[in-house]
Chains A and B, each alone.
Chain A
Amino acid sequence: MALDYRKCAEEIVSKLGGKENVISAAHCATRLRLLIADNSKVDSKALEEVDGVKGMFESNGQLQLIIGTGTVNKVYEEFLAVTGLSAASKADIKEAAASKMPLWKKVLKTPGDVFVPILPAIVASGLMMGLVEAIPKFWPAFGQTDWFSFLDLVANTAFALLPVLVAISSARVFGGNVFLGAVIGLMMVHPALINAWTVGNYAAGEIPTWHLFFFNVQQVGYQGHVIPVILAVLLMSKLEQWLHKHVPEMIDLFVTPLVTVLVTSFVTFTVIGPIFSIFENWVLAGAKWLITVGFGIGSLIMGAIYPLTVVMGLHHMYNVIEAGMIANTGLNTWMPIASAANFAQFGACLAVALKAKNQRTKSVALPSSLSASLGITEPAIFGVNFRYMKPFICGMAGGAIGAMFASWVGFGATTYGVTGIPGILAVNNIPMYLIELVIAASIAFALTWFLWKEDDVGEASKKAPEKVEAPLYKPEKAVIKCSAGEVLQTTPGKVIPHTEIPDETFATGVLGDGVGIQPAEGVVVAPFDGVVTNVAETKHAVGLECNGMELLIHVGVDTVNMKGDGFEVFVKEGDTITAGQKLITFDIDKIKAAGYSDTVCVLVTNSFEYDDMSYPGVE
């Protein structure tokens, strides 16, 4: 059944505590990423129940809702329409979230932020590359055709010029000018520079070198590099922002971009580039070393921790390692590890899908597991496995064993960016790859099947039966009417004009005109469809709003002194309420024992704005 995007967005907004509570919104391949003003206003249980929301979690100061590929962008559009927010750039979200996040997390998060927006390009190209390059294996003649040559060009464009995409995305993340970012990226893969992937063909002395001041800069491009690009654009963005502030406006338009590009380029080629080329090679060497550690132990470790790096958004970084492997040896032995890890998450998620009795859990887990089997694991990890934790850990175990097996057999892929089933076309040993996938998935599946119980789902489903309780008092008649609407009787009992409330403050109408109710039962229900604007810490009063009318419901007189004892409140500030919904319950006897009046005061605090107030319920 097609999802009603509008309805989904509206429900999300209401469960978030209204549009006022949303600072900004962005989305990635599968998730709606929100920055919330007051997290306490968010009804997270209800959010998870919204049709279309596959899961939610908080990370790095952001509230992230898993919606799913192809759907999230549509829900996002409706979300913007409902909230009136403009499309937030990553910079907005990041900047606002940054204040809530320690530095090391910010650093860890950046590559993920940069890569998520360019995922469509990389996923498309990766799949295409896998297919195009696999065909000549079955049909060698195809490799000589114009079609192969053309398709190969189409497929590898995004990877050959990856630094450009990274630079553009980084500029957005860091708040720099996107076009200047593009220039930096383009420069780093400029055709006049020697391609980083073919530089190995040159003898050391043959590589042309610039002598700039006391720097000797080899004229080599940055194909396949990621971190130096991100750093260069980070520097560029900060420099640009600083210059905008300090350069007089009249000359800003030509001075700022000129200085920004010139300085950034110089520092990039002389400092950032050389240092981080070395550093990336270390990372590559470290990972390569790890996976060559004896008897597949390194692969075992890597296969286990791989999904954790997905959670942290670090896995996009591995394209660098994979690209490096292909550049260096032509064989990507990283891919079987990633595949085992991903396919194990598929197995775990499938186990949840088959075992769960809850229809909702099933309906989320099944498509998520299919997506994972194709190598896109985010819905399965965030929407299912990581939420219930046990399946996630079972998946880690499966991934570890699968990766170790792959390392024992010793096969690899000839391309990168694909895992799971499409990976079949990319590997050099299809039978062993299939066995690896089966091992990873079946271990994860079996462990999840036996260890995970649906009770682990958490409070959300446990709480469900509680909703069946004795029918509440149902409000039927209106006690206050004015042009803004009607106020139904909130509490059963005798209705008196506010002037008869046994307290001077209420009686004189200082807090607005309205009625008092001498309660027959200690319950307050919502008198209209509206919003909760205020809840007293002492639980004895709530402020509501509907159509501009502000209503104060104050239980008892001087009951503030009871400090919440004998009162229970069921809503919080920002909640949307419907007429008849339970707001407060209170203990009439306790109020009387404390020596206070139990009169429930229902007052329109802005009654001076209405000249047509009437009180039909007063006896």
Chain B
Amino acid sequence: MKSFDYVITDEVGIHARPAGLLAREVKGMAGSTVSIGKTGDEKVVNVLKVMGVMGLGIKKGDSVTVTVEGGDEDAVCAKVEEFFKANF
């Protein structure tokens, strides 16, 4: 299992569209399960569950922890982190 923390800088946080974009990004990475939750919070959801991600209510300034399990963890984790930096 690999994970990274990230502080959201996007003005509107992770709402419907960002959640959708994230899901699309991750959908292509077969074999890996990518989960997200607010750092230190017990509630963690699979990023493919768009409604669940929206339900986290992640806002600007929130720190999130993203974990990758299975598949090529290192590569997937790096790619997802890059995606976060570029979009959120």
Contacts and interface: CB of A to CB of B under 8 A. Distances in A.
14 contacts: A510-B21, A510-B23, A511-B50, A534-B51, A534-B54, A537-B59, A541-B15, A541-B54, A543-B55, A552-B16, A552-B51, A560-B12, A560-B17, A561-B12
Q: Interface size class for chain B?
A: 10 to 19
A597 interface: no
A508 B55 contact: no
B54 A543 contact: yes
B26 to A, nearest CB: 11
A538 interface: yes
Contacts of A554: 16
Given A510-B21, A511-B50, A605-B50, A534 B15 contact: no
B19 interface: yes
Interface in B41-75: 49-51, 54-55, 57, 59
A510 B20 contact: yes
A125 B10 CA distance: 68
A554 B15 CA distance: 11
Given A508-B24, A510-B21, A510-B24, A560 B55 contact: no
A536 B51 contact: no
Contacts of A560: 12, 15-17
B20 A511 contact: yes
A418 B80 CA distance: 71
A30 B15 CA distance: 45
B24 A536 contact: no
A508 B27 CA distance: 13
Best-surrounded residue of A508, A511, A561 (most CB of chain B within 10 A): A511
Interface of B: 11-12, 15-17, 19-21, 23-24, 49-51, 54-55, 57, 59
B38 to A, nearest CB: 15
A536 B15 contact: yes
Contact of A552 (B21, B50, B57, B59): B50
Nearest to B54: A534
Contacts of B49: 605-606
Nearest to A541: B16
B33 to A, nearest CB: 15
A298 B74 CA distance: 77
7 closest A-B pairs by CB: A510-B20, A511-B20, A510-B24, A605-B50, A534-B55, A543-B51, A550-B51
A550 B54 CA distance: 12
A510 B53 CA distance: 13
A193 B74 CA distance: 74
Contacts of A68: none
Given A543-B55, A605-B50, 17 more contacts: A505-B20, A505-B21, A506-B20, A510-B21, A512-B50, A533-B51, A534-B54, A534-B55, A536-B15, A536-B54, A537-B59, A541-B54, A543-B51, A543-B54, A545-B51, A554-B16, A605-B51
Contacts of A558: 17
Interface string A522-565: 00000000000110111001010100001010100010110000
Contacts of B24: 508, 510
A417 to B, nearest CB: 47
Contact of A511 (B11, B19, B57): B19
Interface in A549-600: 550, 552, 554, 558, 560-561, 573
Contacts of A606: 49, 51
Nearest to A536: B15
Contacts of B59: 537
Contacts of B17: 503, 505-506, 511, 558, 560
A543 B20 CA distance: 14
A545 B51 CA distance: 10
Interface string A602-619: 000110000000000000
A552 B52 CA distance: 11
Contacts of B16: 511, 536, 541, 552, 554, 560
A533 B16 CA distance: 14
A216 B56 CA distance: 63
B15 to A, nearest CB: 5
Contacts of B54: 534, 536, 541, 543, 552
Best-surrounded residue of A512, A538, A605 (most CB of chain B within 10 A): A605
A503 B23 CA distance: 16
Interface in A19-61: none
Contacts of B11: 561
A505 B24 CA distance: 9
Contacts of A552: 16, 50-51, 54
A560 B49 CA distance: 20
B51 A538 contact: no
A134 B72 CA distance: 85
Contacts of A508: 24
